[in-house]
Amino acid sequence: MDVFALTRAFIDIESVTGNELAIGQYFHDYLKPLADKHGGQAERIEVEKDRYNVYAHWGRPEIVFSTHLDTVPPFIPSKEDGEFVWGRGACDTKGISASMIKASEALLEEGVRDFAMLFVVGEEVDGIGAHFANAHSPGPKYLINGEPTENKLALGSKGNLRIEIEANGKMAHSAYAELGDSAINKLLDNLERLRNLELPVDPVLGDSTCSIGLISGGRAANVIPDHASATAVVRVVSDMDEAIEQIDAVFDDRVAVSYPVRTPAIRMKSVSGFETTVVKYTTDIPKLTNWGQPLLLGPGTIHVAHTAEERVPKKQLVEAVELFRNLVKQLKTTN
């Protein structure tokens, strides 16, 4: 299959996070003949029941292509026109996977060895596949991670700090508010201070940003609320501990605060001849610290990922095959 057909084949296998069994089997079955033909090995590595990372390798891997098998919901089947391949995962990251595989096929035909491909489960939720893989690394020198960067090599990605905020109070009839204690008022006061916090700016990564994405609380319009909660996400460009210390300082003792997700900002390697960019999203790279010096590259734009209009330009898919192929060759000359 060419890169367009392979992208569509991947898209048409529903693989919403937690349901990666079929896509993992397809990847393994596609890669096994390629591994056998060129003296390599293709493996399905169990992460948990019915969830497998897929790892194909040739020789002693110095460079590893990696991206994820899962997508966000809902499943959207593929279609194509003269300019794009459409569907869930088109750019995040099934088109990237197809480009990596086609680049690997070309490299193997040229006699290049000592590289691998790692496809992991769970990136869109908790990174379980990457965490598992990190404990079983073969120790390569470079990790080429795939996410949509419009085929530009990312110099950095922002961190991800999730903040959970809870407030408790006392119920009362809304006509006698003085008899109660509003949890929502406590929460809103603290959220306002969070919104007004001046967060760090980095010369490469840009501004830190804060988004309050979830708010819940209350029992009825005429009841003083006894509980309220919110979830916010800060895209961090500074040291994570420093960011948490700064954010902690805005909250008072009327709320309980926790930080269940702490993914640090990452700075990455530049390579001569490649256009560069900086991305605001997070990737599996911080979870794959044992897989070598990271690079981030892939066709498509993050602006349409996770949307009903997800698509990847065909031109960029073709370009990505050559970019991935050339990147491996260039990294090998620097070893």
Give catalytic residues, as residue numbers. Answer: 123
Neighbour count for residue 152 (Cβ, 10 Å): 16
**Distance between CA atoms of residues 113 and 60, nearest Å:** 8
Neighbour count for residue 210 (Cβ, 10 Å): 19
- Nearest CA to 53 out of 61, 42, 62, 41 is that of 42
User: Pairing relation of β-strands 311-313 and 84-86?
Assistant: antiparallel
Spatial contact of 133 and 288, defined as CB atoms under 8 Å apart: yes
Burial class of residue 326, CB neighbours in 10 A (0-12, 13-18, 19+): middle
**What is the length of the chain?**
335
User: What element of type H or E holds 166?
Assistant: strand 159-168
Burial class of residue 265, CB neighbours in 10 A (0-12, 13-18, 19+): buried
| Phi/psi at 170 (5° precision) | -140, 130
